[in-house]
Structure 1
């Protein structure tokens, strides 16, 4: 009897356990990315990290689909390839926004901004797919925007009286940061302690552009539906991100490929490659076994993980403004997810990947 109860508990919660492992992998991956970007003399740019992670995902995903004879491997059905390309390109923009913001923001702030994806997706689906956009979703969007302002802490809203700076210099800093953001990398071990308001504002802006890209990718996944295997969709994302990051690194005059300088950096590179693939795989498997509501709520554990990691590794605690912003954004995200669940209680599942992990748990 006890064994049967244990087995029933295992069967009921195995999907949740896989989602928990996926979020653990996501937190470890983001921590490794931040350490590579800020923790060494030879620093990795966001594009270097994307190249490492997505090349690994492309290779492992291709080998997996080849071994298991996935239908329509490798390019998918001819009629939906343009959607797969759109999905991959938008996903690349989304992942760049995340990794660039990690170079300048606390991990918790960069993570919580991704939680506006459900609200952003509702807007994208309204504009592109003509799906209903309710007044409640619009109100949730305003709530999320207020949360972003608390996280961003712009000087016009949260002035810092102790800082004695020339306003014209601040404008120059913002212009310089905007013109060179592709090549910008922090200059200190704990960059968030030395980031200017203009640099922080730019990082927040790039992060929001990233959420728009992620939302567009998710909308494309909705249109693709079950016409493509989820790993084909993931491979388009990883392949386009690999090619895109490579081309920008080769073309941009201030960027070049870097080689890890010691075992520590090699280890972080390996961790990013492995945990990035495991994140995709475990999340897909977990959401296929679990109800959307339970799984989606568990996804917010990543914020808890990042707060613990920040305290243990960097010895920092987010300010009250960031915690208020996180509460507002998460509340808006849960509200939008509940609205989606009310409108569409049960439907065919589409592919799941990192960009759609914070939505309503739809999968293939």
Structure 2
């Protein structure tokens, strides 16, 4: 039989061993990724995340300032309209100011009524029953704004009338705080005052800049107001030279009345909010202006210039369409923004006017105009960037059973929060004890 040998486990008698034989490396057909590739991918991902975050912040900023952006956009179209007015006034036979107002408001009325009939908006002519009085009020205030401007231009220089006109945003902020009980912070007040200072630097009124270069009215941009600042400027120079102090004082008072009228129009639009379609405001405003303008042309025996050239017709249509677009954007913006903040964006018109003056008429702005423009832009950006996300007015919301309450030109589901604020107001004159603005 085979013998079995037992296995004896023993402890090694040494502590040093030879080195292990290295194994042969395995051949791999898949390349090993480099470390720089991983680093590049992570860096690209971080850059993309930063871009997404910044885009999100910009989107949130735009969403919080929709009304302000709409009002600023309206000033762009108003300035374009004024470029057309200046071009039209340079023709051999210039069109009278009253005729331009009539044409512009007639085009606005036709476009508004046609759109509302086509879209089957209820009550396209008179508006919803609950706000008809305020629609008429909006038309009256709007006409006072135009009348105050044109009357003052008969006795005041272009620059003086410009500065008085741009008092309306401050009046709007005060009216919104008093009658609509909207919040108007000291930051917004400071921005409004700074913007007015910028307007003064651009307009350089004679009572502040009595001598020196740049005080002539030709330095004023073509689009500083409603349509006729330039068109009537040349015809009023002689009157400005010989106007009596009493007439100038009266003109200043009427100009202030016009600024109050413009502020009343802005405040009334804000008070109506979305209880009426945005175009209902324009129908009331344009209809009243057309009626009063026709009566004024008959009483004053103002001749009606019939266009004899195609460029006349095209410019008249351009003025009407640009003015209509600007009014729509202005109304939509004031429906969605507090009156004080929204009115600050009106100062943007003089910025666009300065730019268009350079582009279309090759007029270089003075250093003071550049400084004033920078002040206005900085103030507008400051107001936009310092708005609180949950900025609400101290008013109670109103509701209406009329189906046209929520009609508007923008999608309503994007503005649920604004709807609670846009209709929020205390009736200006629904009862004898309520406060109401001056008529």
> Normalised by the shorter chain, which TM-score bucket?
0.5 to 0.7
Q: CA deviation digits over 1:5-59, x for unaligned, max 9?
A: 9xx99xx7998999897665433211112222x3123222332222111100101
CA distance in 2, matches of 1:288, 1:68: 20
**Structure 1 unaligned runs (5+)?**
164-180, 354-359
Does 1:344 find its partner at 2:391? yes
Q: CA deviation digits over 1:283-318, x for unaligned, max 9?
A: 67799999x9xx999987755543332123322123
Q: Contact (CA 8 Å) 2:153, 2:233: kept in 1 or not?
A: no
CA distance in 2, matches of 1:147, 1:137: 15
Partner SS state of residue 63, structure 1: helix
CA distance in 2, matches of 1:317, 1:195: 28
Could you tell me which residue of structure 1 aligns to residue 355 of structure 2?
A: 308
Could you tell me which residue of structure 1 aligns to residue 321 of structure 2?
A: 274
Shift of 1:66: 1.1
Report 1:241-260 matches (<5 A): 241-253=289-301, 255-260=302-307
Does 1:50 find its partner at 2:101? yes
CA distance in 1, matches of 2:256, 2:309: 34
Q: CA deviation digits over 1:189-244, x for unaligned, max 9?
A: xx99x996889x99998776544322211211222222211111111111112112
Does 1:262 find its partner at 2:313? no
Could you tell me which residue of structure 1 aligns to residue 142 of structure 2?
A: 91
TM-score, normalised with respect to structure 2: 0.56
Does 1:66 find its partner at 2:113? no
Could you tell me which residue of structure 1 aligns to residue 261 of structure 2?
A: 213
Does 1:153 find its partner at 2:204? yes
Report 1:1-364 matches (<5 A): 24-36=76-88, 38-95=89-146, 105=158, 117-131=168-182, 134-160=185-211, 185-187=232-234, 209-253=257-301, 255-281=302-328, 303-331=350-378, 344-345=391-392
Shift of 1:68: 1.4
Q: Contact (CA 8 Å) 2:164, 2:255: kept in 1 or not?
A: yes
Q: Contact (CA 8 Å) 1:118, 1:336: kept in 2 or not?
A: no
Partner SS state of residue 309, structure 1: helix
Q: Aligned pair count?
A: 322
Shift of 1:65: 0.8
CA distance in 2, matches of 1:40, 1:261: 12
Change in 2 beyond 3 A, CA 1:145/1:70: same
Q: Contact (CA 8 Å) 1:288, 1:363: kept in 2 or not?
A: yes
Change in 2 beyond 3 A, CA 1:64/1:210: same
The structure with higher relative contact order (CA 8 Å, sep 6+) is: 1
TM-score, normalised with respect to structure 1: 0.65
**Structure 2 unaligned runs (5+)?**
1-51, 215-227, 398-404, 410-417, 424-439
Q: Contact (CA 8 Å) 2:351, 2:376: kept in 1 or not?
A: no
Q: Contact (CA 8 Å) 1:116, 1:144: kept in 2 or not?
A: no
Partner SS state of residue 264, structure 1: helix
Shift of 1:323: 3.5
CA distance in 2, matches of 1:279, 1:161: 36
Structure of larger gyration radius:
2
CA distance in 2, matches of 1:198, 1:319: 28
CA distance in 2, matches of 1:46, 1:155: 24
Change in 2 beyond 3 A, CA 1:326/1:20: closer
CA distance in 2, matches of 1:121, 1:289: 15
Q: CA deviation digits over 1:114-171, x for unaligned, max 9?
A: 76544221112234345455555554454344344334423342232599xxxxxxxx
Change in 2 beyond 3 A, CA 1:271/1:122: same
User: Pairwise CA RMSD of aligned residues?
Assistant: 5.2
Change in 2 beyond 3 A, CA 1:268/1:195: farther
